[in-house]
Amino acid sequence: MPIPCKTGCGKNAMLKRPKTGDALCKECFFWAFETEIHFTITKGELFKRGDYVAVAASGGKDSTVLAHVLKTLNQRYDYGLKLMLLSIDEGITGYRDDSLETVKRNRDDYEMMLKILSYKDLYGWTMDEIVEQIGRKNNCTFCGVFRRQALDRGAAMLNVKCIATGHNADDIAETVLMNILRGDIARLKRCTAITTGSEGTIPRVKPLKYTYEKEIVMYAHYKQLVYFSTECVFAPNAYRGHARALLKDLEKVRPSCIMDIIYSGETLAVKEEVSLPTLRVCSRCKFVSSQEVCKACVLLEGLNKGLPKLGIGKSSKAKKMLEQYQTEQKLKEIDELNNEFKKKNCLSQGKLCKSGCNKNKASYKNIDNECTSTENNSNDELSGNPKLNILLKEYSLKDSNKDDEKESNETEDVIEENTCAGTHGGDCFSIAF
Ligand code: SF4
């Protein structure tokens, strides 16, 4: 026997709302769903009239419903917003390429401008290439860090006031649980905020903060919205998966648990000494960071230098790895310079020089049977290589063949005397740390 819609509209109920258990007809469900989001927006003061707002669009259910509802509410309540879509192409074959087609469809359906930024253009790497380099572990760390920054960059290009993301109530409850289970109190403190971002950053807002995932699926289904539902091919068995499974089990027993967990997260009192990191500007990319060099730059440096684990884990570990790498590079470069200089500047004395300089007058004066010069055999001229001097300066190193006083006078001379005739002796020159 049909159940009447709980609102008393006279129609039969078509569904039971997962959030409240109310039996509603389709139209009353749409109305309740949209009105709740409207209240979230107005109560949280997410937008101001005339704002340009970028909707972070992935083609999935959350962002598709978000774009659709924002467009509906913008018209219904005359928010006066300029809405546009912002998508990030991570370069994941079989996933993002297909989902971007859905975003393009959204662009046409909702008549919104669309901006797509790709990891390849921004960082020189696709996620496919990153996974090839780093394997299936930690790939989401790269993806998440790069996406966060890519969205910031896209939003800056579009000159928008804020970025609206499709985080729903389930996502937020999961995050609260995860932070409790990990004891990550600093994150727990901020994870329920409806608006995030600090001075100098473009704020992110979550209009779906109190919207249940199940209702989003229902809404998309009954509205026949086009969205992409395939999971990322690199989706890992991350810790979040356990929090999600736990939440789903709890939800079966007590559907209100999602709202209850969010409420708990919002009202938890965290000790004052638990402080959030101070934000500043990354010295490289100039985007906001809690470190001198932001995580995206560290990860990218690691990839480019063949040290993909550089940005994984603690920053002190990354610093150590980078220092080790730089020392190796310095030694390598210095070795190359030594050899190059030997070849170029050797004045041999009659026999073939063993250093490989191709001059045939070696005097075999040193223990290595390499040529030595007979005149002007001074350290001043040994450093007659501007490339070397730049390197020495850059790394604040000293030429071990010289005393400090001499060195300080040499740099300028040497640069001027780039055409040194190479009257060098001994083992030409060497640098030591
Ligand atoms: Fe990126 Fe991981 Fe999400 Fe895939 S699952 S899109 S790799 S963050």
Return the structure tokens found at 402.
């010289």
Q: How sure is the predictor about 353, in pLDDT bands with cuts at 50, 70 and 90?
A: low
d(Cα 287, Cα 327) in Å, to the nearest integer? 28
Please give the distance of CA 223 from its chain centroid, rounded to a whole number.
34
Residues 32-72 have pLDDT tens digits of: 999 999 999 999 999 999 999 999 999 999 999 999 999 99
Q: What is the DSSP string of 75-107?
A: HHTT---EEEEEEEE---TTTHHHHHHHHHHHH
Q: Which helix (H) or strand (E) holds 202?
A: none
Atom of ligand 1 nearest to the CA of 127: 7
Closest CA to 201 of 152, 165, 158: 152
- Distance between CA 376 and CA 381 in Å, rounded? 8
Instruction: Extract the tokens encoding 315.
Output: 């920053």
Residue identifier of the C-alpha nearest atom 6 of ligand 1: 232
Give the model's pLDDT for residue 348: 53
Mutate to test the pocket of ligand 1, among 103, 143, 165, 167 (most ligand atoms within 8 A of CB): 143
The answer to whether the CB of 184 falls within 8 A of the CB of 270 is no
Answer yes or no: is the C-beta of 50 below 6 A from any ligand 1 atom: no
If one residue of 62, 90, 134, 136 were mutated to test the ligand 1 pocket, choosing by the most ligand atoms within 8 A of its CB, it would be: 90
CA distances from 223 to 176, 217, 219 (A): 31, 10, 6
Tell which phi-psi region holds residue 184, choosing left (phi > 0), alpha (psi between -120 and 50) or beta: beta
Domains of the chain and CATH, by start: 45-230+237-276 (3.40.50.620), 345-416 (no CATH)
Q: Is the CB of 281 under 6 A from ligand 1?
A: no
Structure tokens at 190: 């901020």
Task: Tell me which residue has its CA closest to atom 1 in ligand 1.
Answer: 143
Of 134-138, 159-163, 355-359, which range is least confident? 355-359
Half-sphere exposure of 234 (CA within 13 A, CB side): 24
User: Would the pLDDT of 281 be above 90?
Assistant: no
How far is the centre of ligand 1, averaged over its atoms, from the C-alpha of 353 (Å)? 58
Instruction: List the residue whose alpha carbon is closest to atom 8 of ligand 1.
Output: 140
| Closest residue CA from atom 5 of ligand 1 | 235
Computed over every residue of the chain, the mean pLDDT equals: 80
pLDDT (average), residues 159-169:
97
